[in-house]
Amino acid sequence: MPPVSAISLAHSLLRREILDLHAYHVPGSAGYIKLDAMENPYPVPQQLRDEIAAAVAQAAINRYPDPDPAALKEKIRGAIGLPREMGVLLGNGSDELIQLLAMAVNKPGATLLSVEPSFVMYKMIATFTGMRYVGVPLLTNSGAADFSLDLSATLAAIRREQPALVFLAYPNNPTGNLFSTDAVAQIIAASPGLVVVDEAYYAFASDSFIPRLADYPNLLVMRTFSKLGMAGLRLGFLAGSTAWLEQLEKLRLPYNVGVLPQLVAEKLLEHHDVLLLQAEQIKQDRAKLYRQLGEIAAVRVYPSEANFLLFRAANATAVFDGLKRRGVLIKNLNGGHPMLSDCLRVTVGTPDENERFMTALQEILRYE
Ligand SMILES: *Cc1c(COP(=O)(O)O)cnc(C)c1O
């Protein structure tokens, strides 16, 4: 038999849509002021670090993690004020839960629907799992309403496509805005399938669908602790009716959240108030950064209820490169979705980081 190279074997065995994918690119960030990934810029306070270190020293690393960590779930319920009759399902980050949901409803021909531009993992995971994907454009050229839901187009798409699964990021990433509550409610009510309201940015937003879970049999709320200071732990969860969660539990890999993330998250949630104070600080600094960006004539900044700001500037890629040369890493959205041409996204950092970003940006807009 002639020898077969790994590359030709991979090309003959892999699914076409996987060969066509581009890997999710995470740029190196060592040495930069890192304002590209919606992380909380504040480290865990020292006293709490010591407490965590002591607990980690006692952890049973030789054992599999608790597959149903009741104490951790209780802390989560307490922290978010989850109604008693609702359940919690834990994920290795909420990305894993998007994948689990897609696998669960993926009958032949099943459709996943979201809006565009939104969180790219919805479409990527539809591709991974072989689901049909439909993206309904958000409004553009509507002035202050830019990036809000096109309700009539979304309702028409739902009637036409009958999606098994709908994702709405609330607030939306990468645009930062919180969709109209009433429009989201109408979409849930009109959907024949499951609607997941993705509240990754809940700590920075003025509204939530958690109190409305009981109103809809087809609603789940997904959250993550990544944006609240635990991105390194990888912990997300679905909240909703136990009728749904008991079924979805069957698909969860039994040990998807490790011993250390469980333990550290539990400790951190005992000090949830510390994290919420950091979120309050970030909201204040977001308001300041929004004002400052708004004062630059060459920049259009969009309102945000998240821990980042989307803004548009001519020659965005040159602006991005100029910032990078000055040691500031943000996210360049130019060249991605057509509705995001010349768009950049900056995560709100510490006051000092924000200032260094603004100084660099002003310098670039003045001289380049
Ligand atoms: C960041 C983000 C997530 C993913 O969070 P992880 O828990 O870190 O996987 C999910 N949804 C939206 C809208 C996000 O911006």
Same domain, yes or no: 79 and 194: yes
Four-residue CA torsion sign, 335, 336, 342, 346: negative
Sequence-distant (6+) residues with CB within 8 A of 51 are 267
Query: CATH number for the domain including 239?
Result: 3.40.640.10
Same domain, yes or no: 191 and 97: yes
Same domain, yes or no: 76 and 144: yes
85 Cα: distance to centroid of ligand 1 (angstroms) = 25
Query: CATH number for the domain including 343?
Result: 3.90.1150.10
* 173 close to ligand 1 (CB < 6 Angstrom): yes
Q: What is the pLDDT along the chain (368 residues), one digit of tens a residue?
A: 667 899 999 999 999 988 988 877 777 888 999 999 999 999 999 999 999 999 999 999 999 999 899 999 999 999 999 999 999 999 999 999 999 999 999 999 999 999 999 999 999 999 999 999 999 999 998 888 899 999 999 999 999 999 999 999 999 999 999 999 999 999 999 999 999 999 999 999 999 999 999 999 999 999 999 999 999 999 999 999 999 999 999 999 989 999 999 999 999 999 999 999 999 999 999 999 999 999 999 999 999 999 999 999 999 999 999 999 999 999 999 999 999 999 999 999 999 999 999 999 999 998 75
54 located within any domain: no
Instruction: Name the closest-CA residue to atom 1, ligand 1.
Output: 200
Distance CA 302, CA 144 (A): 8
* 95 close to ligand 1 (CB < 6 Angstrom): yes
Same domain, yes or no: 232 and 300: no
Full domain range(s) for residue 237 = 62-270
Four-residue CA torsion sign, 278, 280, 286, 289: negative
200 Cα: distance to centroid of ligand 1 (angstroms) = 5
292 Cα: distance to centroid of ligand 1 (angstroms) = 27
Same domain, yes or no: 293 and 327: yes
Instruction: Name the closest-CA residue to atom 15, ligand 1.
Output: 173
Boundary of a domain, candidates 270, 294, 309: 270
Instruction: Name the closest-CA residue to atom 5, ligand 1.
Output: 94
Contact between 36 and 29 under an 8 Å Cβ cutoff? The reply is yes
Per DSSP, 31 falls in state T
Same domain, yes or no: 156 and 177: yes
Please tell me the total count of domains within the chain: 2
Ligand 1 pocket test, pick from 89, 121, 235 with the greatest ligand atom count within 8 Å of Cβ, gives 121
* 111 close to ligand 1 (CB < 6 Angstrom): no
Per DSSP, 310 falls in state E
Q: Which of 233, 227, 290 is nearest to 258 (CA)?
A: 233
Same domain, yes or no: 202 and 346: no
For 185, other C-beta atoms within 10 Å of its C-beta total 15
188 located within any domain: yes
Same domain, yes or no: 72 and 215: yes
Contact between 13 and 123 under an 8 Å Cβ cutoff? The reply is no
255 located within any domain: yes
Distance CA 38, CA 340 (A): 18
Query: What's the pTM value of the predicted model, to 2 decimals?
Result: 0.95
16 Cα: distance to centroid of ligand 1 (angstroms) = 27
331 located within any domain: yes
207 located within any domain: yes
